[in-house]
Structure 1
Amino acid sequence: MRETVEYQPGVCNIGPAEIRRRRASGWLGLAIAVGYLALALLLGWPAPWRMLVAVPVFVSAQGFLQAAFHFCVGFASRGLYNFGALGSEESVQDAEFRRKDLRKALLITVLAAAIAVVIAVVAFLIPIG
């Protein structure tokens, strides 16, 4: 599969270096989520406390989704894109392009939130015996 190397409104706003950064945040969030849930189950925390696993799950899901879509939610919200070295963002000038980017950012955020909610409900329902 060929990596996209140019900005495409509402489709792709980050290149390889930024994609690696988003994937790393996904792995970090996943590690924190697994550690938190394991600790909560080991210590027998009440179900409502276990639901807090949603926070690192959201971070993880958003990181992995951004990497998969080659799209940064934060950049979209600030009207930026980056296909170069980390820290070399450029501005999106066209208003329609910005609207397309914001729609894609909202989709990624909603998907990450849905994943976090599902995992939080599962964590709540795990019986501790």
Structure 2
Amino acid sequence: MGGIVGAIATLVILAGLLLIDASIWWRLILIIPASGSATGFLQDALHICAGFGMKGTYNVINSAGVVNDVDLEEFRLKDKRKALNIVMWSGLIGIAFSVLSLFISR
């Protein structure tokens, strides 16, 4: 859901910036919602919450708000690596989208 909300926010902000004829460099602010959107989509695709992965916890079986620690160090490291990849790729996607938006003419 976060990916969809972030994508809509990104497009609305881009449309608003184009509509008010803002300076082209204001489009770089799209890094924030585009990265957030990418984070949501990547977490969904990879079936992991980046926040839980970084903390070494999970919440698969329990109800909301109840988390368990990942017991094996090997799995904690795998989850952390996957979470770091999500953060890295989300940032790169956000940067790429905002840079590409610089080439959109009004």
For normalisation by structure 2, the TM-score amounts to 0.91
User: Which position in structure 2 is the counterpart of 1:119?
Assistant: 97
| Mapped pair 1:89 → 2:56 | no
Task: Provide the C-alpha distance between the structure 2 equivalents of 1:86 and 1:112, rounded to a whole number of angstroms.
Answer: 25
Deviations 1:84-109, CA, capped at 9 Å, x for gaps? 33222211122222111111111111
What is the one-letter code of the residue matched to 2:36?
Answer: V
Unaligned runs of 5+ in 2: none
Identity in percent:
36
SS in 2 for 1:31: helix
Superposition deviation, residue 73 in structure 1: 0.5
Q: How many residues align?
A: 105
2:19 maps to which of 38, 42, 48: 42
| Mapped pair 1:103 → 2:93 | no
Return structure 1 stretches of 4+ with deviation > 6 angstroms: none
SS in 2 for 1:125: coil
- Which structure has more helix as a fraction of its residues? 2
For normalisation by structure 1, the TM-score amounts to 0.76
SS in 1 for 2:105: coil
User: Which position in structure 2 is the counterpart of 1:66?
Assistant: 43
